[in-house]
Amino acid sequence: MIDLLAPKTEIPAGLHLALGAAALLSLLGLWCLLSYGGYVRPDFLATPGQVLLAGWKGVRTGTLFGHIYSSLVVILAGFALASLLAVPLGILMGSFQAVAAVLEPITGFMRYLPVSALIPLLILWIGIGIEQKIAVIFLGTFFQQLILIADVSARVSKDLIDVSYTLGASRAQVVTRVLLPACLPGVMDNLRVTMGWAWTYLVVAELVAANSGLGYMILNAMRGLFTDVILLGIFVIGLLGLLTDLLFKLLRRWLLPWSASF
């Protein structure tokens, strides 16, 4: 008999799926009870049927796909720009004290600033186009990525570096063949985590002067108390987030076969 409360104990895949399905069905049942049972007014909590109908309308008219496309462009562009800069800088920051001395004060200050507080400045500097929305995603993820990746690089064992020098490796070889492969599993894990943060900044990014996107759809529906559309937007963001999370898991397994994944 499997002890479900024992730490670090493996459980069968079927039981894992069954427990997850039971949790989801329990939440769905509670939602149905509150909405169909009349415990919560429809203008405060739409029923599952109303959300499905709103989704079907969005699919039939094509507006839902337009909002998804607009949000994906913003999310992927902002996240890609942040990652392209944060990965090399983070590895350098965690490996070289001189780089850390330069970047740590700026990073330590910027990562605690609420991105929403920077929106007025971004509008003044960039405008209200898509560039401003991409900048919000960039700022919301870049400094978090930088500190996380620097921590991954800093935790690479110095003994590994010293052994490489002892075996005759040059400084360039140590960086490219020892340090970088040792960092990549942690880098991929942190990119996966910060992609989730990027999705949470979507509504903030589309807060001002947007005319499309899932965040805009949610905010626009909020003004009219269309809770079916609000819930639809939330569920679509959640599903897209799960898909990107799964993609990162597959990429980690494919690109880094020497590293155990979780």
- CATH number, residue 137: 1.10.3720.10
The verdict on residue 193 lying in a domain is yes
Name the pLDDT band for 146 (thresholds 50, 70, 90).
very high
Residue 215 has pLDDT above 60, yes or no: yes
Residue 261 has pLDDT above 50, yes or no: no
Q: Where in the sequence is the domain holding 81, given as residue range(s)?
A: 64-209+234-255
Query: Are 104 and 154 spatial neighbours (Cβ–Cβ below 8 Å)?
Result: no
The verdict on residue 181 lying in a domain is yes
The verdict on residue 103 lying in a domain is yes
Per mean pLDDT, which range of 13-17, 23-27, 95-99 is the poorest? Answer: 13-17
Position 76 scores a pLDDT of 93
Query: Are 160 and 135 spatial neighbours (Cβ–Cβ below 8 Å)?
Result: no
d(Cα 55, Cα 230) in Å, to the nearest integer?
Answer: 11
The verdict on residue 228 lying in a domain is no
Cα-based distances in Å from 2 to 7, 10, 19, 109 = 12, 9, 14, 48
d(Cα 58, Cα 231) in Å, to the nearest integer?
Answer: 13
Task: Give every CB contact of residue 164 below 8 A, 6+ residues apart in sequence.
Answer: 173, 174, 177, 178
Tell which residue, 155, 173, 154, has the closest CA to residue 163. 173
First to last CA, the chain: 24
Q: Give the total number of structural domains in the chain.
A: 1
Position 171 scores a pLDDT of 77
pTM: 0.86
Mean pLDDT score, 138-155? 91
d(Cα 73, Cα 206) in Å, to the nearest integer?
Answer: 12
Position 260 scores a pLDDT of 59
The verdict on residue 223 lying in a domain is no
The verdict on residue 1 lying in a domain is no
Give the amino acid at 220: N
Position 13 scores a pLDDT of 77
